[in-house]
A and B are shown apart, each in its own frame.
Chain A
Amino acid sequence: MARTLITAPSSARRGEAITLRVLLQHPMESGFRVGADGRLLARDIVRRFSCSYNGERVVAVELFPAVAANPYLEFSALALDSGTLDFVWEGDHGFQHREQRTISVT
């Protein structure tokens, strides 16, 4: 179970742009580094991240090994109605992690 740090407001005004910051604890092993035994360390990265707001997409991100360990992303969403924000990470070796946050829009 990966640890995440998500900064999302719990309430917003209708039509407001809300800033979302997400951080996932993950080594993002690039597959280009050599380990202590002299052999290449197997690649283990998060390949995709997506955020949706009541089922509608906010962003879909494709990540490559050049993204630093513990991938951090900051983006913004349009608050139009109350509901849930879904955050999904997918990566190598079947890695998948999902988080949810609720937001009330007045």
Chain B
Amino acid sequence: MKRRPVLLTAAGVALLPPARATPEAMASAIRSFTGGAPLREGKVQLDVAPLVDNGNTVPVTLSVPGAPPAEVAALALFNERNPLSDVLRVDFGPRAAARSVSTRIRLATSQQLVAVARLADGSCWSQRVEVVVTLAACIE
């Protein structure tokens, strides 16, 4: 057995992408939510602690402060480095009051979270937040 092919194979295995989402996968997940509408910064607010002690349960709040409730059709949350880019999608009905939803999520590692709001007029707004995770959610 020659050493060089063996080493090359080992290097190739090491370079294989890990089983997690990528920024490109997140971008395509966001596109599937926005329907291709351009994403602008602002309007939507994502509240999450910048330093997360435990990635297994991270409280987050998505909201659109300021906008009249009827204007906001849906909210969604995406992540960059969990196995899947999607976290949560919320559609609001006629009986919803404030356009705000809170939940608890898992974070596999330190990464960027993106909150996206789709308004009734079809425009989409986002906010990006970087979070540092000290104890990752167990994905193994």
Chain A residues whose CB sits within 8 angstroms of the CB of B106 once the complex forms: 30, 65-68
Contact partner, A62, options B83, B88, B92, Cβ 8 Å: B88
Question: Given the complex of chains A and B, what is the CA–CA distance between A52 and B96 in angstroms?
Answer: 9
Smallest CB separation, A83 vs chain B (Å) = 10
Contact of A57 with B88 at beta-carbon distance under 8 Å, contacts A65-B83, A68-B58, A72-B104 already known: no
Q: Are the CB atoms of B91 and A18 closer together than 8 Å? A: no
Contact partner, A59, options B19, B91, B105, Cβ 8 Å: B91
Chain B residues whose CB sits within 8 angstroms of the CB of A72 once the complex forms: 102-104
64-118 of chain B: CB within 8 A of chain A: 79, 82-84, 86-98, 100-107
Q: Are the CB atoms of B101 and A61 closer together than 8 Å? A: yes
Q: Mask for B55-68, Cβ within 8 A of A = 1, else 0? A: 01110010000000
Closest 8 CB pairs of A and B: A57-B93, A17-B97, A74-B102, A76-B97, A68-B104, A62-B89, A64-B86, A68-B57
Residues in B lying within 8 Å of A, measured CB to CB: 19, 56-58, 61, 79, 82-84, 86-98, 100-107, 137-140
